[in-house]
Amino acid sequence: MNRIYLDNAATTSVDTQVIDVVCTSMLENNGNPSSTHQFGRTAKASVETARKNIAKHLNVTASELVFTAGGTEADNLILHNAVVHLGAKTVITSLVEHHAVLHPLAHLKKTHNITIEYVAVDDRGVVDLIDLERLLSQTSQQTLVSLMQVNNEVGNLLPMAAVAALCKQYKALFHSDTVQAVGHFPVDLQAIPVDFITASAHKFHGPKGVGFAYFKKGFGVQPLFYGGAQENGARSSTENVHAIVGMEKALDIAIENLEKDTEAIGALKKYFIEQLEAKFLGVAFNGLSAALEKSSYTILSVRFPVVDDMLLFRLDMAGIAVSGGSACQSGSNKGSHVLQAFLSEADAVHTSVRFSFSKYTTKEELDVVLGKLQELL
C-alpha cells in the first residue's frame, strides 16, 4: 500500500540533517544549561548560539527570543503578557484564527474582562482592512491586534505591512501567529514592525515540542508559570537543549533553500490545482488557497461537490494522509471553525479536504492521490 503524506501543515517530517544534529547533542551535550560546571556551560552555550543564529534569520537580537514548547505556548505567553502586563484592554482578532489564539483570548476575557472585537472577513476568509481601521479608530484603550500571517487551514496570506501600518497609526500592539510562515517565507522584523510573533519547529522539518516567541525589545516578559528563572526569567523550565539545536538546524536549512523549495513546491501545487479542475467537475477551493500569489505555496483547501463524511477515513485506509480542517483538532467531528466563519451554508455542507505539501512531496505521489480520489468519488 502506498503511504503518501500530504498533511504538512499539521506537521512535517524531520529532516535527516536535523536528526543527526539532535542525536549528536543527545550523545555529547549532557549538561543542564542552568548548571555552572563545564557540562552546564557547554549546554548553555549551545542554547545561546542557537538563539543568536535564529535571531539573525529574523533580523532581531537574541534577547528578543524566548524558547517555548511550541507555537501554542508562545501564543499564550504573548497574549497573557499583552493583557496582564502591557495593559491591553481591547483585543482585535478574527474568527479564522487558530484556537491557540482564540481560546486563550476567551480565557483572558473571563479572567481580566477584556473586550474582544472580531474584524470582518469576506467570503474567502480575507481580513477586511477597512473594518480593521474602523475598529482601531473606535477605541481609546490600549489595543492589541492579533492576526495570523498565514492561515493554517486555507493558506490565506495576511498583508502584514498594511496591518502593521494601521497598528502603528493607532498606537496598537501587533501580534501575529507566524507558525505557518517562519521557515516558509522571508520574515524580516525590521522591515515590517511586528511586536510579537510565534514559531514552531515541527512546521519546518524540525523536532516537535519546541518553538519560540518573539517580544520586541523594551516590552519585557513575565512568565506564565513559576519555579525557575530560565530564559532570563521569562519561562521557568529546563531548556530543551537538543530540540533547540535541532530547531536551529532546521531553520538554517529552510532559509538556505527557501527560494528553491518555494519554486518546486509551488509548481506541484499549481499542477495539483490544474489536475483537480480537469478531473472533478464542480470542484472549488476554499479561501484564497488556489490563488498562488495570495496564499501559501504549501496549503490547498479543496471543496468537492459531494457530501462524504467518510472521505478522509477512506483516504487514510488507502495510505493517504490529509486533513479536513485544523490538524490540532484531529479526531474532532465538529468541523472547521475557519471554514464555518466564511462559507455559505450551501458550501459548508460539502466535503472539504486540506492538502499540504513539503519539499519531500513528489508529482508521482500527487498522481496517485488524484487517481484514488477519482476512484472514491
pLDDT in tens, 10-68: 999 999 999 999 999 999 999 999 999 999 999 999 999 999 999 999 999 999 999 99
Closest CA to 195 of 211, 175, 213: 175
How do residues 288-341 score in pLDDT, each as one tens digit? 999 999 999 999 999 999 999 999 999 999 999 999 864 454 444 568 999 999
The mean pLDDT value of the chain amounts to 96
Where in 258-374 does DSSP place strands (E)?
284-285, 299-303, 320-321, 352-356
With a pLDDT cut of 70, the percent of the chain lying above it is 97
Architecture of domain 16-256: 3-Layer(aba) Sandwich (3.40)
Assess whether pLDDT exceeds 50 at residue 285: yes
Which three cell numbers mark 97? 484564527
Q: Please, what CATH class does the domain formed by 4-13+258-376 belong to?
A: alpha beta
Res 327: pLDDT: 43
Q: What positions carry a catalytic annotation?
A: 328
Average pLDDT, integer, range 356-366: 98
Q: In what order do the strands lie in the sheet with 299-303?
A: 284-285, 299-303, 352-356
If one compares 309 and 81, the residue with the highest pLDDT of the two is 81
Considering only CA atoms, which of 327, 366, 99 is closest in space to residue 202? 327
State mean pLDDT over 335-354. 93
Least trusted range by pLDDT, from 26-35, 97-106, 160-169, 324-333? 324-333
Q: Any idea where the domains of the chain sit in the sequence?
A: 4-13+258-376, 16-256
What pLDDT score was predicted for residue 326? 47
Instruction: Supply the DSSP string of 191-210, one letter for each residue.
Output: TS--SEEEEEGGGTTS-SS-
Extended strands (E) in the chain: 4-5, 65-68, 90-93, 115-118, 143-146, 173-177, 196-200, 211-215, 284-285, 299-303, 320-321, 352-356
Q: What DSSP string describes 69-105?
A: SSHHHHHHHHHHIIIIIT---EEEE-TTS-HHHHHHH
* Higher pLDDT, residue 328 or 172: 172
